[in-house]
Amino acid sequence: MKACVDIGGTKVAVSLAEDGRKELQARQAEPTAKEGAPDAVAQQVMRLIDAACAQLGVPAASVDGVGVSAAGPFILDAGGAVELATPNICGGLAGPARGLPNDWTSAVIEAPLRRRYGRVRVENDAVSALEAERRWGALQGLDHCAYVTWSTGVGVGLCVDGRTLRGKGGNAGHAGHSFVADDDNQHALCGCGNVGDVEGLVAGNAIERRFGMPAAQLFGAARAGDARALGITDGLVRVMGRLLYNLVVTLDLQRVSLGGSVFLHNRDLLLPRLQAQIDGRLPALTQGVRLAAAGLGEQVGDYAALALVA
Ligand SMILES: [Zn+2]
């Protein structure tokens, strides 16, 4: 039996899957633990796995592998095990002004899980989604590809030569925090502290902050032909399109799968416009490169952790 764990800033979800099956069972979810010792999240995960086993009527000892899809960024401990340095979880990063009820600078996760379950793999949520898309979705059979989520934030998972990229701290793919435009006005403050990076300019919450309306309303107006909304849409697509183009030519990718609520709810409007940002530029690298909506659609997050241990 494998345990699939999804850790976000607001909730932790756990489900179980039988070996070799793509079916998630006995789902348990709670608000993310943010009080107590820095291993509180790991303790919560183990308790939820126990609860899922009890619900399914299987012994807790039957879990012999755990996949963890988590909001980043990560740091590694001296033994190379992942700890979460997530600003929405660890109150010690931004200080008391952030209002979190702890002073953690990181939340240990991999080491305690490894001690109990043996086989554990912790990856950033976009990297986990990349693996799910390669296994079951729009990236099947491809060795040079990326997954990009355009949602509350902007996250990226990267695969080159058939290998998922990890980097020195397990953070490869944080391209949402790269700069592709000069627009650095005060409304483009990203949660990471940057002003005017991609996420600060185009993420769901940035759209609302910069233009005074939710993404759904903006893109609805654009679809109806509203000139101002179409102009804003073109500006957002130019920023995201540059990010996608930069990924394609830097890593020589074949395909990029796109997910996340901002993209998936507006794919009719956004997909052709984003593709146009790739096409025709440096044909030796971009000819035939296709952008695709996530094959797993809205369920890509559900299968992300499973892909790490399947
Ligand atoms: Zn940022």
What pTM was computed for the model?
0.94
H or E stretch covering 156: strand 154-160
Q: Are 83 and 89 in contact (CB under 8 A)?
A: no
Rounded to whole angstroms, the Cα distance separating 157 from 166 reads 9
Instruction: Please give the distance, rounded to the nearest whole angstrom, from the Cα atom of residue 265 to the centre of ligand 1.
Output: 23
Q: In what order do the strands lie in the sheet with 74-76?
A: 74-76, 82-84, 107-108
> Which domains are assigned to the chain?
2-124 (3.30.420.40), 138-294 (3.30.420.40)
Instruction: Please give the distance, rounded to the nearest whole angstrom, from the Cα atom of residue 151 to the centre of ligand 1.
Output: 13
- CA torsion through residues 133, 137, 139, 141, sign: positive
Rounded to whole angstroms, the Cα distance separating 250 from 104 reads 36
Instruction: Please give the distance, rounded to the nearest whole angstrom, from the Cα atom of residue 171 to the centre of ligand 1.
Output: 13
Per-residue model confidence as pLDDT tens digits over 1-52: 999 999 998 999 999 999 999 999 999 999 999 999 999 999 999 999 999 9
Integer-rounded Cα Rg, in Å, for the chain is 20
Instruction: Please give the distance, rounded to the nearest whole angstrom, from the Cα atom of residue 174 to the centre of ligand 1.
Output: 9
Q: What is the pLDDT of residue 310?
A: 87
Q: In what order do the strands lie in the sheet with 290-293?
A: 163-164, 154-160, 145-150, 255-259, 290-293
Instruction: Please give the distance, rounded to the nearest whole angstrom, from the Cα atom of residue 98 to the centre of ligand 1.
Output: 17
| Residue the block writes with tokens 């996608």 | 244
Q: What is the pLDDT of residue 184?
A: 66
Instruction: Please give the distance, rounded to the nearest whole angstrom, from the Cα atom of residue 74 to the centre of ligand 1.
Output: 15
Instruction: Please give the distance, rounded to the nearest whole angstrom, from the Cα atom of residue 146 to the centre of ligand 1.
Output: 19
Instruction: Please give the distance, rounded to the nearest whole angstrom, from the Cα atom of residue 177 to the centre of ligand 1.
Output: 4
| Residue the block writes with tokens 């590809």 | 145
Instruction: Please give the distance, rounded to the nearest whole angstrom, from the Cα atom of residue 71 to the centre of ligand 1.
Output: 13
Instruction: Please give the distance, rounded to the nearest whole angstrom, from the Cα atom of residue 283 to the centre of ligand 1.
Output: 30
Six-digit token string for 309: 């241990």
Find the DSSP H helices in the chain: 40-56, 110-117, 125-136, 198-202, 204-211, 215-223, 227-251, 261-264, 267-278, 283-286, 300-309
Instruction: Please give the distance, rounded to the nearest whole angstrom, from the Cα atom of residue 182 to the centre of ligand 1.
Output: 14
Instruction: Please give the distance, rounded to the nearest whole angstrom, from the Cα atom of residue 50 to the centre of ligand 1.
Output: 36
Q: Are 158 and 146 in contact (CB under 8 A)?
A: yes
Q: Are 24 and 300 in contact (CB under 8 A)?
A: no
Instruction: Please give the distance, rounded to the nearest whole angstrom, from the Cα atom of residue 56 to the centre of ligand 1.
Output: 40
Rounded to an integer, what is the distance from CA 14 to the centroid of its chain?
17
Instruction: Please give the distance, rounded to the nearest whole angstrom, from the Cα atom of residue 198 to the centre of ligand 1.
Output: 7
Q: What is the pLDDT of residue 99?
A: 84
40-56 vs 110-117: helix crossing angle, rounded to 10: 40
Q: What is the pLDDT of residue 191?
A: 83
Instruction: Please give the distance, rounded to the nearest whole angstrom, from the Cα atom of residue 101 to the centre of ligand 1.
Output: 23
Instruction: Please give the distance, rounded to the nearest whole angstrom, from the Cα atom of residue 20 to the centre of ligand 1.
Output: 37
Instruction: Please give the distance, rounded to the nearest whole angstrom, from the Cα atom of residue 15 to the centre of ligand 1.
Output: 30
Q: Are 167 and 218 in contact (CB under 8 A)?
A: no
Instruction: Please give the distance, rounded to the nearest whole angstrom, from the Cα atom of residue 197 to the centre of ligand 1.
Output: 6
C-alpha distance from residue 147 to each of 2, 210, 219 (Å): 24, 26, 22
Instruction: Please give the distance, rounded to the nearest whole angstrom, from the Cα atom of residue 154 to the centre of ligand 1.
Output: 9
Rounded to whole angstroms, the Cα distance separating 134 from 124 reads 15
Rounded to whole angstroms, the Cα distance separating 40 from 260 reads 28
Phi-psi category of 36—alpha, beta or left, where left has phi over 0 and alpha has psi -120 to 50? left
Give the 3-state secondary structure percentages of the chain, helix then strand then coil, rounded to 5: 40, 20, 35
Q: Which residues surround ligand 1, an ion (CB under 5 A)?
A: 177, 190, 192, 194, 197, 199
Q: What are phi and psi of 284, to 5 degrees?
A: -55, -30
Rounded to whole angstroms, the Cα distance separating 175 from 261 reads 18
Instruction: Please give the distance, rounded to the nearest whole angstrom, from the Cα atom of residue 201 to the centre of ligand 1.
Output: 9
Rounded to an integer, what is the distance from CA 214 to the centroid of its chain?
21
Per-residue model confidence as pLDDT tens digits over 178-195: 999 987 677 888 888 889
Q: What is the pLDDT of residue 112?
A: 98
| Ranges of residues in the chain whose predicted pLDDT is under 70 | 184
